[in-house]
């Protein structure tokens, strides 16, 4: 996998190893994607899901599997994941826009309805997006879940807010 | 000379767990740590840990530390802080340099028939031109500065090494506002977990695999660095140099067990790369080849907080048995449970090498002590 030398996963790689939900499922509503590709001895994603939609199973080093029928996109697993590797995508709104939610453990310098620059898995600026939600629950222990509205073609790409070091 | 049933040297995850387990069964135990607070490495781990629920997975390291400290406090474990153990004599006497104030130290001699060495590990250095300049530091040291002492080591950082320590410390420095100028890794692959790497790359941080540091610039402190590509024979590819604008350089090139005390006490050490280098051989009870001297945690091979906790528990139960506070059957139940959890933690592809090294460590003990199956 190319990510072994770069740290940057691609949708193609994730699809290849069967870790990406179908287009059809994403159009039906929010779903979690675990971008976790190595055999980490770890399972908070599985134990945190109130809907039992993530399975790691008996061997703690197995990869997490999201059940597209059970997942409701509640994002509990997003903050429970020790590797901050789980994202929620949703392409059910319209033909034009969709949403991406991701874990965020930095000072939050934006608020609902702000237009922000969006970054892909390589940290490159790929498009503008609108902040839909910034949620911090007590259980999440200081890890925010940020939800951005982005062009539908960018839902598979956007994974963070674009970072500039100036401020 | 004051005497205890058990002295634990080093109050990290391993030492705290050993003391907690022993105290729970009524052992008269003293825990000594050279820092102003017990907890070891855990005090500065602000990230959520991997693992299973029973090993407090998903909990931030410093919160695991708080839980352990509370448990030890509730049980009434006696703790001596600011106490650097300098030596173990005659197998049962511990010499401690106690820092009373900034300038005043006193020497204490303490006795115990059972001693646990849980001193953790020390960071490896990497030598390059300019490596002695102020501003070149261990990644662990930078982590202590930022997360425990709340001091920023600088504004712009270059990390050497893409292991989990390098990746995690880069992330935590970034959280604190440091600009991460890049991570260099001499190997063609990132050695830490992909999820830790991806967390950095989506913030725009570049991981230079196949690169190493050539030189740190500056006369009285770091003002920059040159990195370059490495050939398969470890020579540098000429013309591949990249100038990096940084004011400090962190070295995350692995750790090695702190074995000085064990060596001094006459415990037999074995060498295994998977353990981080030399480490004491030990038996099922975590007892070394020196009777009454036990080891646990990173001091007996680099692993994790979760494994350190289990090894500490085994040593604590074994000593409770040796001092007559637990029956053999009761102790066996405690030890077997911990060994089972250790087996789970060392399962899978990434645990394979460690498991093999750990088994070798046990086998070496048997060989050295002439134990037959
Ligand atoms: C950046 C980083 C990230 C990590 N992430 C994870 C993770 O996600 N999950 C996980 O399970 N593990 C993780 N670890 C590893 C984990 O922190 C260690 O394996 C674990 O804390 C080791 O515990 P220990 O008790 O063996 O040693 P330590 O925690 O190092 O404790 C040793 C103690 O002994 C004291 N000491 C040493 N020498 C003496 C002496 N002569 N006299 C008195 N006191 C002495 C030291 O001051 C220290 O307090 C991480 C480590 C690092 C550096
Ligand atoms: S988003 Fe909610 S329902 Fe879906 S896997 Fe995560 S925790 Fe379970
Ligand atoms: S909690 Fe996160 S890092 Fe751990 S196995 Fe699940 S997805 Fe992977």
Running DSSP on this structure, what letter comes out for residue B249? E
**Token pair for B10:** 């080093």
Give the model confidence (pLDDT) of A81-122 as tens digits. Answer: 999 999 999 999 999 999 999 999 999 999 999 999 999 999
Contacts of A119 in chain B (CB under 8 A): 202-204
More confident: B51 or B148: B148
Question: Within a domain: residue A55?
Answer: yes
Q: Is residue A166 part of a domain?
A: no
**Domain membership flag for residue A6:** no
| Cβ atoms of A3 and B198 closer than 8 Å | yes
Asked if the Cβ–Cβ distance from A9 to B194 is below 8 Å, we say yes
Summarised one tens digit per residue, pLDDT across range B292-302 is: 999 999 999 99
CA dihedral over A52, A54, A57, A60, signed as positive or negative: negative
**pLDDT score for B326:** 98
Map tokens 């190493």 to a residue. Answer: B212
Q: What is the DSSP string of chain A?
A: -THHHHS---HHHHHHTT-S--HHHHHHS-EEEE---S--S--HHHHH-TT--EE--SSTTSPPEE-TTT-----HHHHH-TT--EEEEE--S-SSEEEEEEEE-S-----TT-EEEEE-TTS-EEEEEEEEEEE--STTSS-EEEEEEEEGGGTTT--EEPP-S--
Q: Indicate the fold that domain B3-122+255-372 takes in CATH.
A: FAD/NAD(P)-binding domain (3.50.50)
Q: Which of B200, B203, B344 sits opposite A60 (nearest CB)?
A: B344
Asked if B372 has any chain A CB less than 8 Å from its own CB, the reply is no
ipTM score of complex:
0.97
The structural domain count of chain A equals 1
The two domains B3-122+255-372 and B125-251 share their CATH topology (first three levels equal):
yes
The pLDDT value recorded for residue A59 is 84
At residue B42, the pLDDT reads 97
- Whole-model pTM: value is 0.95
CB within 8 Å: B350 and A39: yes
Q: Could you give the 3-state DSSP secondary structure of residue A12?
A: helix
Is the pLDDT at B55 greater than 70? The verdict is: yes
In a domain, A35, yes or no: yes
User: The domain containing residue A106 runs over which residues?
Assistant: 11-161
Residue A97, in any domain of the structure = yes
CA distance B111 to B94: 6
Smallest-distance ligand from the CA of B119: 1
B316 three-state secondary structure: helix
Query: Residue B190 gets which letter from DSSP?
Result: -
Q: How would DSSP label each residue in B36-82?
A: SSS-GGGGG--SBP-S-GGGTTTSBHHHHHHHHHHHHHHHT-EEE-S
Ligand 3 pocket, Cβ-based, cut-off 6 angstroms: A 34, 36, 40, 42-45, 64, 81-83, 85-86; B 50, 195
Question: For A86, which DSSP code?
Answer: E
Establish if A4 belongs to a structural domain.
no
The whole-number pLDDT of residue A157 equals 98
Cα–Cα nearest to B174, from A84, A67, A141, A129: A84
Which of B16, B36, B62, B119 has most ligand 1 atoms within 8 Å of CB, for mutation? B119
Mean pLDDT of the region B216-242: 96
Arithmetic mean of pLDDT, B265-291:
97
Q: Give me the CATH code for the B125-251 domain, please.
A: 3.50.50.60
In chain A, whose CA is at the least distance from the CA of B193? Answer: A38
Q: Give the domain ranges of chain B.
A: 3-122+255-372, 125-251
Burial of A92 (C-beta count, 10 Å sphere; 0-12/13-18/19+) = middle
Q: What is the pLDDT of residue B373?
A: 56
Atom 2 (ligand 3) nearest CA: A81
Tokens of A153: 């073609």
Q: Which of B288, B293, B279, B244 is nearest to B354 (CA)?
A: B279
Per residue in B335-357, pLDDT tens? 999 999 999 888 777 788 899 99
Q: What is the DSSP letter of A19?
A: -
């Amino acid at each position: 996998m190319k990510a072994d030398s770069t740290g940057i996963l691609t949708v193609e790689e994730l699809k290849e190893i069967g870790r990406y939900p179908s287009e059809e499922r994403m159009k039906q509503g929010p779903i979690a994607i675990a971008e976790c590709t190595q055999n980490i001895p770890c399972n908070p994603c599985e134990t945190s899901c109130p809907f039992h939609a993530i399975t790691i199973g008996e061997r703690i080093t197995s990869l997490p599997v999201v059940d597209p029928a059970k997942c409701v996109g509640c994002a509990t697993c997003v903050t429970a994941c020790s590797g901050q590797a789980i994202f929620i995508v949703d392409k059910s709104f319209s033909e034009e826009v969709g949403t991406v939610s991701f874990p965020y453990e930095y000072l939050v310098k934006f608020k609902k309805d702000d237009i922000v620059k969006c970054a892909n898995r390589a940290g490159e600026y790929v498009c503008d997006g609108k902040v839909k939600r910034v949620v911090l629950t007590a259980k999440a222990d200081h890890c925010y879940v940020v939800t951005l509205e982005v062009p539908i073609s960018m839902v598979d790409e956007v994974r963070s807010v674009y970072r500039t070091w100036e401020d | 000379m004051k005497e205890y049933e058990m002295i634990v040297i080093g109050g990290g995850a391993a030492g705290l767990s050993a003391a907690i387990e022993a105290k729970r069964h009524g052992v008269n135990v003293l825990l000594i740590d050279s820092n102003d607070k017990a907890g070891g490495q855990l005090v500065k781990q602000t990230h959520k840990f991997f693992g299973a629920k029973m090993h407090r997975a998903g909990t931030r390291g410093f919160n695991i530390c708080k839980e352990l400290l509370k448990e030890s406090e509730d049980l009434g474990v006696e703790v001596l802080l600011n106490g650097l153990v300098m030596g173990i004599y005659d197998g049962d006497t511990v010499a401690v340099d106690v820092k009373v104030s900034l300038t005043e130290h006193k020497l204490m001699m303490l006795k115990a028939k059972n001693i646990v060495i849980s001193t953790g590990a020390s960071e490896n250095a990497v030598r390059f031109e300019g490596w002695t300049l102020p501003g070149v530091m261990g990644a662990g040291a930078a982590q202590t500065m930022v997360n425990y002492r709340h001091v920023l080591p600088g504004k712009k950082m270059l990390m050497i090494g893409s292991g989990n320590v390098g990746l995690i410390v880069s992330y935590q420095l970034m959280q604190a506002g440091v600009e991460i100028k890049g991570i260099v890794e001499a190997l063609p692959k990132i050695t830490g977990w992909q999820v830790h790497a991806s967390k950095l790359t989506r913030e725009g941080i570049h991981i230079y695999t196949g690169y190493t540091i050539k030189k740190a610039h500056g006369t009285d402190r770091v003002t920059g660095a040159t990195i370059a590509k490495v050939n398969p024979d470890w020579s540098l590819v000429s013309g591949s140099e990249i100038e990096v604008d940084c004011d400090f350089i962190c070295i995350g090139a692995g750790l090695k067990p702190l074995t000085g005390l064990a060596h001094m006490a006459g415990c037999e050490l074995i060498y295994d790369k998977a353990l981080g280098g030399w480490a004491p051989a030990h038996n099922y009870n975590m007892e070394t080849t020196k009777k009454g001297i036990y080891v646990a945690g990173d001091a007996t091979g680099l692993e994790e907080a979760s494994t350190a906790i289990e090894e500490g528990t085994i040593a604590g139960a074994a000593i409770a048995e040796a001092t007559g506070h637990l029956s053999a059957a009761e102790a066996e139940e405690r030890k077997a449970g911990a060994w089972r959890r250790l087996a789970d933690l060392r399962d899978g592809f990434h645990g394979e090498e460690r498991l093999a090294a750990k088994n070798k460590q046990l086998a070496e003990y048997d060989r050295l002590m002439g134990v037959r199956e």
